[in-house]
Amino acid sequence: ITSANHHMTFYQRCENLFYYIFLEWYTRFVTEPFQDQLMREVFGPNLPHVRDIVKQANIIIVNHHFAMNSPRPVLPGVVEIAGLHISEPKPLPQDLKDFMDGAEHGVILLSFGSNVASNWLGEGFEDKVLLAIRQLPQRVIWKWDRDISNIPPNVKLSKWLPQNDIMAHPKLRLFITHCGLLSTQEAIYRRVPIMGLPVFCDQMDNAELLARRNLSIYLDPQKITSELFLNSVKEMLSNPMYKKNMEQMGDLMTDMPLTSKQQAVFWSEYAIRHQGAPHLRSAAADMSWIQDMS
């Protein structure tokens, strides 16, 4: 959840250690008790502790891809299935289809997902973005959680959008996003350049990773100006480097012997065929804290 990469300074290592200790504490004393209570309410009282369930896992399916993140050593039971949520695009609603098909200069998708409220983006964010958008020849589809009066004619505003289907449209030229993990994976899968405006948690790390690889421009929504927003959009659209690099990253993500869904199905069935696949479980799962640190 920090923006540090795998070439860290001493300060960044200390920062990561702090966050690791905090997350371990938060998971053990906040998250797990809540999960235990919820499991017992839904499935009954005779269940082991959630931590014991996790320790017994022989196969762990994770939303990760080695090309998108830093390579790391993993056990054979760790299966990467980044992009599992991405499905074949469905036909767009007629109003969206007409809006995108008729875009002579292409379309920009502006969306901050379902977990970012508009009032988290800083004072005047909406007005600054609108002022910039008015000066663009492209059409803009904007997912926003409140109504806006006097929107420009090149803007289509909605509180919900079929993002997966929009991302597959050939006239989409840029995705302006908070860099949530799922949205980032969709953009890479569809080879759509990203302009990142992260708000919290892993979004910062995702945006930093994309910018470091020249896949994106990273902006702070709290410090943004209309001029900076406009110039960044123009740079993303006019510089072919971003599209070329995103094409290459998309190829790395999809050049696999099995799709993410096929991977998940295969390893789930593998565990069934081999009585839970206990041979994949590491003895480290049973080590005490002292053993782990010694």
Amino acid at 215: L
Reported as a single tens digit per residue, the pLDDT across 184-215 is: 999 999 999 999 988 877 888 888 888 989 99
**Exposed/middle/buried for 216, CB within 10 Å: 0-12, 13-18, 19+?**
buried
Alpha carbon 285 to its chain's center: 28
pTM recorded for the entire structure: 0.85
Count other C-beta atoms under 10 Å from residue 81's C-beta: 20
Reported as a single tens digit per residue, the pLDDT across 71-120 is: 788 889 999 999 999 999 999 999 999 999 999 999 999 998 777 666 66
Tell me what pLDDT residue 122 has: 65
Tell me what pLDDT residue 67 has: 86
Tell me what pLDDT residue 117 has: 66
Q: Alpha helices, DSSP H only, in the chain?
A: 10-26, 32-43, 50-55, 94-101, 125-133, 163-167, 181-190, 202-212, 226-238, 240-254, 260-273, 289-293
User: Are the beta carbons of 177 and 94 closer than 8 angstroms?
Assistant: no
State mean pLDDT over 254-281: 93
Q: In b/e form, how buried is each residue of 164-189, taking b as 16+ CB within 10 angstroms? A: bbbbbbebbbbbbbbbbbbbbbbbbb
Tell me what pLDDT residue 41 has: 92
pLDDT band, residue 266 (cuts 50/70/90)? very high
Q: Give the N- to C-terminal CA distance of the chain in Å, as an integer.
A: 27
Query: Has residue 234 got a pLDDT over 80?
Result: yes
Phi, psi of 135 (to 5 degrees): -95, 5
Count other C-beta atoms under 10 Å from residue 288's C-beta: 8
Reported as a single tens digit per residue, the pLDDT across 14-51 is: 988 898 899 889 999 999 999 999 999 999 988 899 98
The first and second tokens of residue 267, run together, are: 């390893």
Q: Quote the CA–CA distance of 175 and 164 in Å, as a whole number.
A: 12
Tell me what pLDDT residue 201 has: 75
**Exposed/middle/buried for 217, CB within 10 Å: 0-12, 13-18, 19+?**
buried
Q: Quote the CA–CA distance of 251 and 247 in Å, as a whole number.
A: 6
Q: Quote the CA–CA distance of 62 and 15 in Å, as a whole number.
A: 24
Q: Quote the CA–CA distance of 81 and 262 in Å, as a whole number.
A: 9
Reported as a single tens digit per residue, the pLDDT across 110-166 is: 998 777 666 667 678 888 989 999 999 999 999 887 777 788 899 998 889 999 999
Give me the domains of the chain, ranges plus CATH numbers.
Answer: 10-84+258-293 (no CATH), 94-253 (3.40.50.2000)
Query: Has residue 238 got a pLDDT over 80?
Result: yes
- Alpha-carbon separation of residue 226 from 101, 125, 130, 257 (angstroms): 27, 9, 8, 45
Tell me what pLDDT residue 4 has: 63
CA-CA-CA-CA dihedral for 140, 121, 175, 261, to nearest 10: -130
pLDDT band, residue 2 (cuts 50/70/90)? low
Query: Has residue 287 got a pLDDT over 60?
Result: yes
Tell me what pLDDT residue 120 has: 65
- Check residue 177 and give left, alpha or beta (phi > 0: left; psi -120 to 50: alpha): beta
Query: What's the DSSP call for residue 118?
Result: G
